[in-house]
Amino acid sequence: MNIRDFEYFHQLVKEKNFSKVAQNFSVSQPTVTLAIKRLEEEFETTFFIRDRSHKELLVTPSGYQFDAHLKVILNELTIAQKEALRAKQEKLLFGLPPIIGNYFFPNIVSKLIATGLIEQLETKEAGSQALLKLLLDGSLDFCLLGSLEPLTQPALKAETFAQTSFKIIVSKQHPLAQKKAVYFSELKDERFIVHNEGFIHDKVLKLLAQKEHFRPNVIYRTNYVHVLKSMVASNTGIACLTDIALSPNDDFSVLDLLDEHQPKFLLSIVTRATQVMTPAKKQLLDILHDTVYHSPLGKETQ
């Protein structure tokens, strides 16, 4: 067995065509055929069946089961390669969504500068769901993430340190600005400004709307909370936003949601379960702990 055989196998399960797999790896078709034969002989089973009457390649149940294991193996090897490269470069890759970053990162940066870690740090800003994928594939070392449920995947080590609520924000000129709270069902005819897919806020809006059996009228999407706020303040539309994104200087009205069992915004420090803590990584993790637990949000959960 070798890693290339695993890669041929995994691609063949997806393509179900020897020629396409050979072209993808720039090898001959017999090379792929021999690799599959080696694996079948090694495991004493049949992974693929040729259905010549329909000119199809069928994957057996044991083939699909083996591929499920290979996905984990190949992903871990990819992560190992990335981590080995970063170890040489002494880089710390840190992901954080813009809203969480705006709230916590200024205090994190001051501590990174004081300890000298700032030179090793590379940050990535994106939505929590997008960052989670990058963490799982080894492209990031640590994240501060938002989620609607605890992050319990076996591949992750996640520590939830706070939770916040979601609010509805409307222009001060909007008729709803006279209210202190609303049911989400009252918003079915409103125009929504929403974060792009990959952000928790997009998922929250969909969940709330599904519960009330209507499709929200989304007129604009953005990655930037300041753009969203500006558009709401100008009465272009309304938005659903976690309260850690709100500031006393915001020029719009904030409404509570009255719905029962509404989602909560969970904040967590997340890394991979298999990640070995080097001195620099341990130092960064200590800084994250110290920052989030000494913040107003962290103190509320202690």
| CATH number, position 112 | 3.40.190.10
Q: Is pLDDT above 80 for 149?
A: yes
Q: How far apart are the C-alpha atoms of 58 and 299, rounded to whole Å? A: 56
> What value does the mean pLDDT of the chain take?
90
The answer on 171 and 236 residing in a single domain is yes
Q: Is pLDDT above 70 for 299?
A: no
Q: How far apart are the C-alpha atoms of 102 and 96, rounded to whole Å? A: 9
The answer on 171 and 249 residing in a single domain is yes
Say if CB 78 and CB 137 are below 8 A apart.
Answer: yes
pLDDT confidence of residue 138 = 87
The answer on 77 and 108 residing in a single domain is no
| Overall average pLDDT of the 120-130 stretch | 90
The answer on 185 and 105 residing in a single domain is no
The answer on 277 and 141 residing in a single domain is yes
The answer on 30 and 79 residing in a single domain is yes
Give 1's pLDDT tier (boundaries 50, 70, 90): low
Q: How far apart are the C-alpha atoms of 271 and 274, rounded to whole Å? A: 9
pLDDT confidence of residue 301 = 58
Which residue type sits at 187?
L
| Overall average pLDDT of the 71-90 stretch | 76
| Overall average pLDDT of the 86-101 stretch | 82
Pick the range with the lowest mean pLDDT from 64-73, 76-85, 135-144: 76-85
Residue 37 belongs to a domain with what CATH number? 1.10.10.10
The answer on 97 and 157 residing in a single domain is yes
**Domain edge (last residue) among 59, 85, 111:** 85
Candidates 12, 56, 64, 73; CA nearest to 37 is 12
Give 295's pLDDT tier (boundaries 50, 70, 90): confident
Q: Is pLDDT above 80 for 85?
A: no
The answer on 275 and 152 residing in a single domain is yes
**Domain edge (last residue) among 33, 62, 85:** 85
The answer on 150 and 29 residing in a single domain is no
Q: How far apart are the C-alpha atoms of 168 and 187, rounded to whole Å? A: 10
The answer on 73 and 7 residing in a single domain is yes
Say if CB 117 and CB 296 are below 8 A apart.
Answer: no
Q: Is pLDDT above 70 for 54?
A: no
The answer on 137 and 77 residing in a single domain is no
Q: Is pLDDT above 80 for 265?
A: yes
pLDDT confidence of residue 87 = 65
pLDDT in tens, 208-240: 999 999 999 999 999 899 999 999 999 999 999
CA distances from 214 to 65, 157, 184 (A): 40, 36, 10
Q: Is pLDDT above 60 for 198?
A: yes
Question: Which residues span the domain enclosing 184?
Answer: 166-257
Number of domain units in the chain:
3
Better-predicted residue by pLDDT, 158 or 79: 158
Partners of 181 in the β-ladder: 256
The answer on 270 and 158 residing in a single domain is yes
pLDDT confidence of residue 82 = 76
